[in-house]
Amino acid sequence: MLRIIRWSFLAAYLIVVGLWSAAAAPVALLATGVAVILTAVPMPVWLLATGATLLALNRQQPTPTIQPAD
């Protein structure tokens, strides 16, 4: 019984260790891509885009409320 448990733990360990690099690769590629995009665009452009977005969001008209019928 103990031998089966040890083999199961060994198999689980090998699966986790063997698949970790394959599972972490897309996350690392995503982080690299985001870093490349952030460094490729100058900071004033990011600030201007952020300011324009915030201005557009603040200028939106609120949704009119419907008055209940008496």
Domains of the chain, residue spans:
2-44
Average pLDDT over residues 6-12: 87
Q: CA-CA distance, 16 to 24, in Å (whole number)?
A: 12
Average pLDDT over residues 5-24: 83
Tokens 């690099």 label which residue?
21
Is residue 46 scored above 80 in pLDDT?
A: yes
Q: Look at residue 52 in the predicted model and tell me its pLDDT.
A: 95
Tokens 């952020």 label which residue?
50
From residue 47, give the alpha-carbon distance in Å to each of 50, 54, 66.
Answer: 5, 11, 38
Q: Look at residue 16 in the predicted model and tell me its pLDDT.
A: 81
Tokens 């996350």 label which residue?
27
Average pLDDT over residues 11-32: 84
Q: CA-CA distance, 49 to 2, in Å (whole number)?
A: 62
